[in-house]
Amino acid sequence: MTKQSFVKGTLILVFAGLITRLLGFINRIVVARLMGEEGIGLYNMALPTLFLIYTLSQFGLPIAISKRVAEAEANNNTRQIKKILVISLAITGTLSVVFTIGMIVSAPLIAKHFLTDDRTLYPLLAITPMVPISAIASVIRGYFQGRQNMKPQSYAQVIEQIIRISCVAFFVKLLLPYGIEFAACGAMISVIIGELTSLLFMLRMFRFHKRITLHHRFFAYLSSGKDTLKSLLSIALPSTGSRLVGSISNFLEPILVSQSLAIAGIQTVIATKQYGALTGYAIPLLFLPTFITHSLAIALIPNISEAEAKHQRHLIHYRIHQAIRISFASGAIATVILTMFAEPILMFMYGTSSASPFLILMAPFFILLYIQFPLNAALQALDYAKPAMWNNIISTIVKFVILITLTTNPTFGIMGAAIAITIGFVLGTFLHLATLYKVAKFRIPAIDVLRMILLLTATWLISYLLKQWIPLYASSLQALLLLFSLIFILYIFLLFILRFITKDELRQIPWIQRFIH
């Protein structure tokens, strides 16, 4: 099995993430145009419940698997790797069955009394098969990540999106005549088919590259894995708490938003449409750069774990600094573009600019979210998952307090939810930075902060000037794409001038390395 360097492994994940995001946006455009804001609202109201159950069934094990497998790999301990996989599969398999049944039983109660829209029952029931499929897939992903081979999960992500986008239009159109809630079920079914195909592919890759036969003496390894279980739980429990906070937050968010908007006097159908515009149109665009930062976070955990096992403290600091620098570079251009060109982007993508106020308000602050992913991963890799969990709890509580306070006020309405979400992300990032300084004496140098400010300012000025030079961008897609291309080309020059990309990092890319030599 091929092990990749940090930069190469990250690039593999980034390219796969880019393809996945592009396909995902095509999928969202298709679904949005077929189902409209109301259908998207129903779809997005049901998804947080899935993510909550998904988190509970995973039990925080993917991160724990990645870290412990990386440590075992550093010591060439194949027996320990098998114990990790056996115990992880036993835990996730059992929990996924229990929570799947619980989800089916509780779906009517959640739909009627929490989401305040009976129609969400059908999407909730339709998505339940996803839980065991995703739970098993997460274990296999954690194994490949721990061995620093990012290719299998990268290929699997692309395959999943291709299958999903191939199925979604068919199932949505097939079920749309029966009602918007059944159309949302069709979108859910396409998600399940894509995830199942992805799992089957990763299982095939596991068998192809295997050094381990899982079924051989499975129960013997299970019964003798007490110490392995403890080592996994030392990471998994706080990681579960951290992810659980996020999942509970996502689960409660549509409930609190719908209830708060009802208190503000906004009707259910209008509230669902507003929430659909925020979560179906604005949030996905704001999260677009996170495929890079998430890739960095995934690659960071086994790299820092290996460096810690070898007591390479300087390398740990360098990797965190490197991840923050690249994360900021990936998010700065998105921040500027989404702020300055919110309306034309939304119009060309979805045929409506109703979500533009959300983008203009939230985009300038989301740059801090983009560096939050590697910060969180660094804390988990250093065995400080518990402080990371508390940071997430604090930021979530603050978010909900602000959300309820503002959204129940008719003056703010749904905009109160957007403000609360933004403040929650900003606070979480600063708390993670403070914790890293406390436990590892890590800080972002002042010169880097200055470079970040210069990058944002220069990108904004370039975008503003080009915007004046190509005035047809608002009415012509070709003009808008030309404008974005010019901004991107000049932005790449800025990254090199301000040293956000270094020559050493370029040398780690195989085809550039061959070109240099």
Cα separation of 484 and 455, whole Å?
Answer: 17
Residue 116 has pLDDT above 80, yes or no: no
Cα separation of 393 and 396, whole Å?
Answer: 5
Got the DSSP string for 306-330? HHHHTT-HHHHHHHHHHHHHHHHHH
Selection from 260-264, 272-276, 503-507 with the highest mean pLDDT = 260-264
- What one-character DSSP code corresponds to residue 417? H
Q: Which tokens belong to 122?
A: 């059908």
Tell me the per-residue pLDDT of 286-334, one tens digit each, with 9 for 90 and over. 888 887 887 788 878 878 877 777 777 888 888 888 888 888 988 899 9
Residue 511 has pLDDT above 50, yes or no: no
CA distances from 484 to 5, 160, 345, 491 (A): 31, 28, 11, 10
Which range is least confidently modeled, 89-103, 215-229, 295-309? Answer: 215-229
CB atoms within 10 A of CB 111: 24
pLDDT range class, residue 5, cuts 50, 70, 90: low
Q: Is 217 helix (H, G, I), strand (E, B) or coil?
A: coil
pLDDT range class, residue 268, cuts 50, 70, 90: low
H or E element at residue 205: helix 180-209
pLDDT over 90 percentage in the chain: 14
What is the rounded radius of gyration, in angstroms, for the C-alpha atoms of the chain? Answer: 23
Q: What is the mean pLDDT of residues 406-429?
A: 88
Query: What local confidence, expressed as pLDDT, does residue 19 receive?
Result: 85
User: With contact defined as beta carbons under 8 Å apart, do 413 and 469 qualify?
Assistant: no
Q: Which tokens belong to 123?
A: 């999407």
The C-alpha angle 57, 297, 75, rounded to 5 degrees, equals 85
Which range is least confidently modeled, 79-88, 264-273, 471-480? Answer: 264-273
Q: What is the mean pLDDT of residues 359-384?
A: 88
Q: What is the mean pLDDT of residues 408-434?
A: 89
Residue 235 has pLDDT above 70, yes or no: yes
Cα separation of 353 and 423, whole Å?
Answer: 23
Cα separation of 87 and 69, whole Å?
Answer: 13
Got the DSSP string for 223-288? HT-HHHHHHHHHHHHHHHHHHHHHHHHHHHHHHHHHHHHHHTT--HHHHHHHHHIIIIIIHHHHTT
H or E element at residue 478: helix 477-497
Q: Is 128 helix (H, G, I), strand (E, B) or coil?
A: coil
Which residue, 412, 298, 290, is CA-closest to 4?
A: 298
Cα separation of 503 and 233, whole Å?
Answer: 40
Cα separation of 198 and 157, whole Å?
Answer: 7
Residue, of 26 and 362, whose pLDDT is higher:
362
pLDDT range class, residue 411, cuts 50, 70, 90: confident
Tell me the per-residue pLDDT of 117-149, one tens digit each, with 9 for 90 and over. 778 788 888 888 888 888 888 888 888 888 878
Query: What local confidence, expressed as pLDDT, does residue 516 receive?
Result: 45
Give the list of residues 6+ apart from residue 301 with CB closer than 8 angstroms, or none.
Answer: 63, 66, 67, 70, 145, 377, 380, 381
Strand ranges for 404-496 from DSSP E: none
* Chain Cα centroid distance, residue 226: 32
Residue 459 has pLDDT above 90, yes or no: yes
Cα separation of 431 and 372, whole Å?
Answer: 10
Cα separation of 356 and 346, whole Å?
Answer: 7
Give the list of residues 6+ apart from residue 347 with CB closer than 8 angstroms, or none.
Answer: 353
Cα separation of 5 and 184, whole Å?
Answer: 41
Q: How many residues in total does the chain contain? A: 517
Q: What is the mean pLDDT of residues 404-425?
A: 87
Burial category of 125 from C-beta neighbours within 10 Å (exposed 0-12, middle 13-18, buried 19 and up)? middle
Q: What is the mean pLDDT of residues 65-77?
A: 80
Residue 494 has pLDDT above 60, yes or no: yes
